[in-house]
Amino acid sequence: MSTDQIHITGLRVECIIGINDWERVTKQEVVIDITLYADLTKPGESDDIEDTVNYRDISKSIQAHVEASSYGLIEAMARNIATICLEPEAVIRADVSVQKPGALRGADSVGVEISRSH
């Protein structure tokens, strides 16, 4: 089986994230990068959307989930995003990075990266 990759980079979503009191009421931006691993041989040959991983649907599911969420930690958010990414049977592995811009004074962002597979 091939380990081809689909990349979703720079997905920006506003959400409640953090443990401080003000973070529990003020939405902040997170930036999400995802790599999906799947065998893309068939869609590469057929040129048919039905044969591939529909990354648009995955992206919409992630956006809806994150916008409605209220996580304390980006670690928990990243874990649940990876679970969403693995819902399509064709996805065998997902690498998820979640960055929280401005989380530390003097740093561009703080982030975590996780990998999950079936």
Residue 94 · residue 34 · CB < 8 Å: yes
* Tokens encoding 12: 């920006």
Instruction: Give the C-alpha distances (Å, rounded to integers) separating 1 from 51, 71, 88, 91.
Output: 15, 36, 16, 12
Calpha distance 16→28 (Å, rounded): 6
State the catalytic residues: 100
**Closest residue by Cα to residue 53 from 85, 31, 81:** 85
